[in-house]
């Protein structure tokens, strides 16, 4: 499946790249704005595979790059992730572009790891989106479970799906359950047994990579149809 590439202008005159994957299955009426993690680009294996699976389940999916990743591509150098305000600004501008394209259609903020975290920040600030789909939300830094990134949860009113692995060092599941008690809207959690932060599972789990990715996409479709029955 070939994704269509385009660009969105930022306030400083630069642009960020986007990749759109239209729905190939029966349409569910929602567009996913899918943000990448800190180190894996928007065309990484995980991002591409999930986008294609979501498209097959009826979602239009638009992936995009944050500015620092665009600089890595154009300058062939490794730059660290942008600060949160710059990440949010780029994310908001891409969201505004998607809103222009879909009109009154439903938009869901989706993200992997850092992209999931930025998505929640946008939602807490009143982003024009109907829900959140969060793959591997980084509740805390690795090895620092007490530094929880949940202070903004009470301000989020959109329904959310958290997809987390049991071996994820960035998300203690017991802490996530307690954190979601403060979440402003409705939040559901789908746990993938034996999966790490990248949703890889060991051979002893008896499942292939494709099976795990299918599980994630199926979980999103099931949650979506419950959260948005229309």
Residue 81's pLDDT band, with cuts at 50, 70 and 90, is very high
Mean pLDDT of 195-219: 97
Q: Tell me the whole-structure pTM to 2 decimals.
A: 0.97
Mean per-residue pLDDT over the chain, rounded? 96
What residues contact 132, with CB distance under 8 A and at least 6 apart? 108, 109, 110, 116, 119, 120, 123, 156, 158, 159, 160, 161
Answer yes or no: is pLDDT of 48 > 70: yes
Query: Cα–chain-centroid distance for residue 192?
Result: 16
Mean pLDDT of 50-65: 98
Calculate the dihedral angle through the C-alpha atoms of 221, 131, 179, 136, rounding to the nearest 10 degrees.
Answer: 50
C-alpha 25/C-alpha 162 separation (Å) is 23
Q: What is the pLDDT of residue 80?
A: 95
Q: What is the pLDDT of residue 105?
A: 94
Mean pLDDT of 84-110: 97
pLDDT digits (tens, 9 = 90+) for 188-205: 999 999 999 999 999 999
CB 65 within 8 A of CB 41: yes
Answer yes or no: is pLDDT of 1 > 80: no
Mean pLDDT of 78-106: 96
C-alpha 21/C-alpha 2 separation (Å) is 7
Q: What is the pLDDT of residue 150?
A: 97
* 22 phi, psi to nearest 5 deg: -75, 155
Answer yes or no: is pLDDT of 178 > 70: yes
Which of 3.40.50.1820, 3.40.50.1980, 3.30.70.2660, 3.30.70.1250 is the CATH number of 4-227?
Answer: 3.40.50.1820
Residue spans per domain, the chain: 4-227
CB 60 within 8 A of CB 32: yes
Mean pLDDT of 84-106: 97
Residue 164's pLDDT band, with cuts at 50, 70 and 90, is very high
């Amino acid at each position: 499946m070939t994704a269509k590439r385009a660009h969105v202008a930022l306030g400083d005159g630069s642009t960020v790249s986007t990749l759109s994957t239209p729905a190939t299955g029966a349409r569910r009426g929602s567009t996913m704005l899918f943000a990448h993690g800190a180190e894996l680009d928007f065309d990484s294996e995980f991002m591409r595979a999930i986008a294609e699976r979501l498209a097959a389940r009826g979602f239009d999916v638009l992936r995009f790059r944050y500015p620092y990743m665009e600089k890595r591509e154009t300058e062939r150098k490794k730059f660290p992730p942008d600060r949160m305000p710059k990440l949010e600004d780029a994310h908001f501008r891409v969201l505004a572009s998607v809103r222009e394209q879909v009109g009154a259609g439903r938009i869901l903020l989706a993200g992997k790891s850092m992209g999931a975290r930025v998505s929640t920040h946008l939602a807490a600030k009143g982003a024009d989106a109907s829900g959140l789909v969060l793959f591997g939300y980084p509740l805390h830094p690795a090895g620092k479970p007490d530094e929880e990134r949940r202070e903004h949860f009470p301000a989020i009113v959109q329904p959310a799906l958290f997809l987390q692995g049991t071996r994820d060092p960035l998300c203690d599941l017991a802490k996530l359950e307690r954190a979601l008690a403060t979440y402003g809207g409705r939040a559901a959690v789908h746990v993938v047994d034996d999966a790490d932060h990248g949703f890889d599972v060991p051979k002893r789990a008896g499942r292939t990579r494709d099976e795990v990715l299918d599980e994630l996409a199926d979980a999103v479709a099931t949650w979506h149809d419950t959260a948005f029955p229309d």
